[in-house]
Structures are given as structure tokens and as C-alpha cells.
Amino acid sequence: MGWPVAGTIETIEELRRDDFVAHIEGRYTASNCVLSVAGAVTHEQVLEIAEREFDALPQGDAPEPPAAEWGRPAEHIKIDERDLEQTNLSLTLQSMRRRDPDRYALDILATVLGRGMSSRLFMEVRERRGLAYSVSAGAGYFSDIGSFGVSAGVTREHQEEALEVILNELHRLVDEPVPEEELQRTKDFSTGTFRLSLERPMALGQRFGNQLLQEGEIETPDETVRRLNAVTAEDVQRVAKRLFEPAQFSLAVVGPSASADRLDEILTG
């Protein structure tokens, strides 16, 4: 899951025409595609165009993707020392897959922590303590695995303290339920930004197409909003315990840095 989609200099230099042809023939097939259309068209119009334009598309077989590998890597701290003004931290752990029932609670948890200027990490790490230029949290979901991460841009002298404060905020979600007022504010922010993200037909088409291709069914925006609004403080705390105890964090650092041993001490508490 950590491989760059664009490849590396080495892999791209090795590619030949036969590789591209094999990729097209194996992936661009009817069994591996969906067509999602949103806008001022009718179902019948879309069917007519699809039959005309895609009738000759080979049926093929949908390729089986390789399974994700679970477990923290042995080398879970990676430091790329560079002479920069700012140190960039990425604290991550493996998380839940796309269809996990707890994904809505994780979305709310990530928003409580690090989405928007009223989030806990923004307020504690940046505003109150002045430890970071930027800090945010988010989750990613795939068919059989997911990720949760916190990113921050800090000065070298504040790197270790910022990491400690971030970890404290994560564990505070384990120890204390989110107050009701904060939870409701978070839900309003999450559902509001979600609806705004779907204002354009292109966004709707992409959302429904991705869902159909990867999940085999469509969840309407109204249903997603309903599920987000149904998340309770107990749900958020349960997910925090599931992810952060025992924590299996990995850490990537780019810029002036402390030693890997010192950073590992902070991660393990």
C-alpha cells in the first residue's frame, strides 16, 4: 500500500511497450469497469451512448488484487535528514478497511483531532503551544486495509515536544469520551463539508463510480450523513481504543531530526 502510484525512477526506466500493452489488455476490460454518469441526462440516453461507444470493449476477467500485508514493519521509523528550515512528521498506523462498520466513527474521530481550525491538534499543537506551522489528521480506506495518520510541520527544536503532544491527544481520546457539544460541532463540520464536496456533478459521478467498482453497491449521500450523525461519544472512544491501544505507530521524518532511538522512546511512551 505504500508504493507510489507513479512508480520509481528505476521501475519506469525498465518499462517497455509490451508492458503497456499487457496492462491495457489486462485491466481495460468490461468486467473491470463501471460507467458512472451524473448530470442532465436520462438513463436511456446513457445506455444508448454506452452501447455505441463500449460495445467492442473486451469482456476480460477482473484481475484479483494482491492482499495487503498487515503488521507494522520492522523498520517503523524512517528519517530522511535534509538541511531544511522545517521538519515534517508523518505519524501513521494501519487502520480499518473501506467497509468496516466503524469507519463513520473513525471519520468523526479524525475530524475531532485534526480537521479544521477548531480541531484539538490545531488548537493544542499550533495555537496554544506554537509547536507547529501546520498539523492535521485523516484516515484512508481501501478494500482490505486502511490507514490513519497525523502530519505536522515543525521546527527541529520543537519536533520531540510536538510528537509527545500529538500522542497525548490521541491517548486522551482513549481515556475520555468526547464532550457532547464538541461532538455535535464535529458532526456539523463533517456533514457540512461532505455535502459541499458533492456539489458538482463530477464529484457525484466519481463517488458513485468508485463505490460501485470497489464495493458493489451505492450509498447515497443522505445515508452517509445519517450514519455520521448517528456516531456517539462511546463509538469514538471505542475506535480510539481499537486503534491506539496497543499503538503500532510508524513515523516518517523529513528534515533536521532527532535520533531514531529517541523518537522510538517517545512512540513507546
pLDDT in tens, 148-164: 999 999 988 899 999 99
Per-residue pLDDT at 269 exceeds 80:
no
Mapped onto helix, strand or coil, the DSSP state of residue 246 is coil
Positive or negative CA dihedral for 119, 120, 124, 130?
A: negative
C-alpha dist (Å) from residue 136 to 89, 115, 128: 11, 6, 15
pLDDT value for 62: 78
CATH class as words, domain 77-268: alpha beta
When mean pLDDT is compared over 70-74, 91-95, 142-146, the highest value belongs to 91-95
Instruction: State mean pLDDT over 185-198.
Output: 97
Contact 110, 58 (CB under 8 A): no
* Cis amide leading into 65 (omega within 30): no
pLDDT in tens, 164-178: 999 999 999 999 999
pLDDT value for 110: 97
Range(s) of the chain covered by CATH 3.30.830.10: 77-268
